[in-house]
Chains A and B, each alone.
Chain A
Amino acid sequence: GENVEQHPSTLSVQEGDSAVIKCTYSDSASNYFPWYKQELGKRPQLIIDIRSNVGEKKDQRIAVTLNKTAKHFSLHITETQPEDSAVYFCAASRGGGFKTIFGAGTRLFVKA
């Protein structure tokens, strides 16, 4: 069945450094790749997403890259801040009318 692998499971960085989280997906028909952030005790919230017709998308300090051939996509956070500490989930979907499969999550710690 469909699967999304996410690495690393835990990531610790110093404030101001960059953080990179990587995901791979198995369903080659996937064309929509969102990233969600879940702070401790709170609900997941979308932070950025990318569709298969683009290779990169950026929003201030966060960016996502997609390699459809390799079925890889990555989240990049630059100039990390303590408030970036959270669990980040990648996901893949075929788009409207289909389910979304989430990765297992990456717990990011940003040390001040």
Chain B
Amino acid sequence: GAGVSQSPSNKVTEKGKDVELRCDPISGHTALYWYRQSLGQGLEFLIYFQGNSAPDKSGLPSDRFSAERTGGSVSTLTIQRTQQEDSAVYLCASSLFPPDQETQYFGPGTRLLVL
């Protein structure tokens, strides 16, 4: 079946502009995660959505970052007033129904470059 998809695959923007990154999880997956991966680095947790529960936003690096998940499916990560240090690959993942099915299925990522 279809996996996790993300759009756009690449985004180049100018410093100070806002960007929106989209994630379409696997159908039926209740958990959705956003991570940031800087070049050659690990996966930095940003935010986690689980069903109708309040999201865990503890990983968002600043108030310029926000995310929402509409209808328990598609999620959008918004970065306002982008800075050069925001340049990274933003990965989205979904899982079926923790705690029984916790395998995270990752999307291909959005490569963001802030000039």
Which residues of A are at the interface with B, using a C-beta cutoff of 8 A?
Answer: 1, 6, 32, 34, 36, 43-46, 49, 89, 91, 93, 95-105
Contacts and interface: CB of A to CB of B under 8 A. Distances in A.
A104 to B, nearest CB: 4
A98 B100 CA distance: 13
Contacts of B48: 98-100
B42 A89 contact: yes
B106 A44 contact: yes
Nearest to A93: B102
Could you say which of A97, A98, A99 has the most chain B C-beta atoms within 10 Å of its C-beta? A99
B42 A102 contact: yes
B97 to A, nearest CB: 8
Given A102-B42, A105-B41, A105-B42, A96 B106 contact: no
Nearest to A91: B43
A43 B106 contact: yes
Could you say which of B45, B107, B108 has the most chain A C-beta atoms within 10 Å of its C-beta? B45
User: Is chain B's interface secondary structure helix, strand, loop, or mixed overall?
Assistant: loop
Given A43-B109, A44-B106, A45-B106, A89 B53 contact: no
Interface string B40-73: 0111110010100100101100000000000000
Interface residues of B, number: 26
The 9 closest A-B pairs by CB, nearest first: A96-B99, A96-B98, A104-B42, A102-B43, A43-B106, A95-B99, A99-B48, A105-B42, A46-B103
A32 B31 CA distance: 16
A93 B59 CA distance: 14
A73 B35 CA distance: 22
A68 to B, nearest CB: 17
Contacts of A103: 42
Given A97-B99, A99-B33, A99-B59, A46 B42 contact: no
Contacts of A89: 42-43
12 contacts: A1-B58, A32-B102, A34-B103, A36-B104, A43-B91, A43-B107, A44-B104, A95-B102, A96-B50, A96-B99, A101-B45, A102-B43
